[in-house]
């Protein structure tokens, strides 16, 4: 049986899937996404590198610890512990307590969108507060695996490079220069404001934090800080469960 040309033309044709974005464009997009945080990393890295040399350690300690540890606030604590020859067990416990917050990041960090075992391994290793804040926002929900990995790589590079430069130039930074330590506070404030703006229709995180602190002050005045952290964690988990069960309308 012959098929008429008209019948053939009436058949629906499947449009080809759009090609993936080139790697160069993904890298450029990630570079733009990370530029603001990279500028904030610069004074932090310079201050950290200067602290390394002023603590009596060799300059290469700054770049090495920044590349291998990549722990941000813990690295400032680590330098003091290394300079004081603290026991290894104390360093391990301190690292666990300071970076324990990363456990809760897994609740919403888009690791499922990162492809490959090697990519997931690096993404887990390079997870920091800034990468979490940038990749869990509203505009990052469509980011590809390469874009997330490039973003984390650039943040890693900013920190290691600025720390190394700070160690090399640490002796030239005068003692009267102040305000470098406030850069971390300002950075977290901006990231927190962006995260709060993304939580449309949900109970804001600062409100949960204030309520947790008030309840902890009333119920556990002698152990306010750990109680407040426990209540705040429970509130975040409860909000996460409540929002995941809420049906989304198209």
Whole-number percent of the chain with pLDDT over 90? 17
Which residue, among 3, 5, 45, has the nearest Cα to 156 in the 3D structure?
45
Lowest-confidence pick of 21-35, 157-171, 178-192: 178-192
Confidence (pLDDT) at 249:
47
Tens-place pLDDT, residues 205-237: 677 778 888 888 888 888 777 788 788 878 877
Q: What is the pTM of this model?
A: 0.66
Confidence (pLDDT) at 250:
42
Confidence (pLDDT) at 125:
92
Q: What is the dihedral of CA 45, 188, 153, 31, to 10 degrees?
A: -100
Over the chain, what is the mean pLDDT? 78
Confidence (pLDDT) at 144:
92
For residue 160, what are its two tokens? 């290691």
φ, ψ of residue 211 to 5 degrees: the values are: -65, -40
For residue 184, pLDDT beyond 70: no
Q: Work out the average pLDDT over 89-113.
A: 83
Confidence (pLDDT) at 100:
78
Round to whole Å and give the CA distance between 126 and 121: 9
Lowest-confidence pick of 69-73, 141-145, 149-153, 168-172: 168-172
Helices assigned H by DSSP within 55-181: 60-68, 73-83, 88-98, 102-105, 117-125, 129-135, 145-168
Residue with tokens 């964690």: 233
When pLDDT is cut at 50, 70 and 90, the band that residue 183 belongs to is low
Residue with tokens 């984390």: 152
Q: Work out the average pLDDT over 90-112.
A: 82
Give the chain's radius of gyration (CA, Å). Answer: 23
Q: Please report the sign of the dihedral spanned by the C-alpha atoms of residue 127, residue 133, residue 138, residue 143.
A: negative
Lowest-confidence pick of 136-145, 161-170, 195-204, 238-247: 195-204
Confidence (pLDDT) at 156:
94
Which string of DSSP letters, residue by residue, matches 130-156?
Answer: HHHHHHSSGGGTT--HHHHHHHHHHHH
Tens-place pLDDT, residues 130-163: 888 889 878 888 899 999 999 999 999 999 999 9
């Amino acid at each position: 049986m012959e098929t008429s040309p008209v019948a053939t033309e009436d058949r629906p044709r499947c449009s080809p899937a759009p090609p993936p974005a080139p790697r160069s464009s993904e890298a450029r997009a990630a570079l733009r996404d990370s530029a603001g945080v990279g500028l904030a990393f610069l004074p932090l890295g310079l201050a950290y590198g200067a602290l390394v040399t002023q603590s009596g350690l060799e300059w290469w300690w700054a770049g090495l610890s920044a590349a291998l540890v990549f722990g941000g606030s813990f690295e400032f604590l680590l330098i003091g512990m290394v300079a004081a020859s603290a026991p290894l067990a104390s360093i391990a416990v301190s690292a666990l307590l300071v970076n324990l917050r990363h456990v809760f990041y897994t609740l919403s960090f888009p690791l499922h969108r990162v492809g490959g075992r090697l990519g997931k391994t690096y993404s887990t290793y390079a997870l920091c507060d800034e990468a979490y804040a940038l990749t869990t926002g509203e505009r990052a929900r469509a980011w590809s695996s390469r874009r997330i990995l490039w973003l984390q790589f650039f943040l890693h590079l900013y920190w290691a490079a600025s720390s190394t430069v700070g160690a090399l130039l640490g002796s030239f930074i005068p003692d009267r220069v102040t305000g470098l330590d406030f850069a971390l506070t300002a950075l977290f404030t901006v990231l927190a404001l962006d995260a709060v703006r993304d939580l449309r229709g949900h109970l804001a995180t600062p409100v949960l934090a204030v309520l947790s602190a008030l309840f902890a002050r009333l119920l556990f005045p002698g152990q306010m800080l750990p109680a407040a952290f426990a209540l705040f964690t429970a509130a975040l988990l409860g909000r996460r469960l409540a929002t995941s069960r809420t049906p989304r309308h198209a």
